[in-house]
Amino acid sequence: MMTVILIVSLFFLLGLGLGAVTIWFVLRYKKAAKSKGLTEKTAQAETMSFHWKYIMLPASVLLLSLALVAYFYHLLPAEVAWRFNPDGSADKWTSRGAITIWMLGLQLLLSLAAGAITWGVTKLGQQASQATSVLIKPERIILLMGSMIALPQIVLGFVMADIFSYNIYGIHLMPIWLFALIVMVVGGIILALFFIQAIRQSRLLAKSSGKNSKE
């Protein structure tokens, strides 16, 4: 369980890091956007506001977890194995109610965190909407942030499904570390593509503002 908590914490910190980098980009290029003369052009841009689509993925994972519990809970024995040895054999047991509450509680906590973080970023983004419209659409940034928070939920959902599978059918779906690695790699690729696009756009903006200042 400690491994799972560490993995979840890593993904959560990754989401927070994305938010911090996003705010840095906004503040870093706000002045450049104004120097390019885009204030007038973006003055009529729609004010940033919270939309439920920003936490669509976290909410979907939470609902899927609830569906798994509703379907498999009555099939679980009173005492379920939740911690396993390297060879896959059971190491520790607890009641099915306790493990279900823990898993769903963590899922709910992460969903609420995704909502709070994306809501907070929309409030901060209202003060710098002009800069974000120059670099990349703020909706895409916030949607990406919400999706990154969903990554630890996906790992937790797999852990819960693996526990259910072992205690009901006696088989493991996949090593947890391997599944977490796959999710981490996919999330890293998405982040890398996003930041490559943002860096390219920021360089183009810097070059354009430099030419304007010379003229």
Per-residue pLDDT of the chain (215 residues; tens, 9 = 90+): 555 555 656 665 665 565 555 555 555 555 455 545 444 444 444 456 778 888 899 999 999 999 999 999 999 999 999 988 888 888 889 999 999 999 999 999 989 988 888 887 777 765 544 444 445 566 777 777 778 888 888 989 999 999 999 999 999 998 888 888 888 888 778 777 777 776 676 666 666 655 555 55
- Give this prediction's pTM: 0.75
**176-182, long-range: CB within 8 Å, 24+ apart, which pairs?**
176/3, 176/4, 176/7, 177/3, 179/155, 180/7, 180/155
Residue 187 lies in a domain: yes
Indicate the SS3 state at residue 44: coil
Residue 4 lies in a domain: no
Residue 194 lies in a domain: yes
Residue 165 lies in a domain: yes
Q: What is the extent of the structural domain holding 64?
A: 50-205
Count of structural domains within the chain: 1
Q: Amino acid letter at 141?
A: I
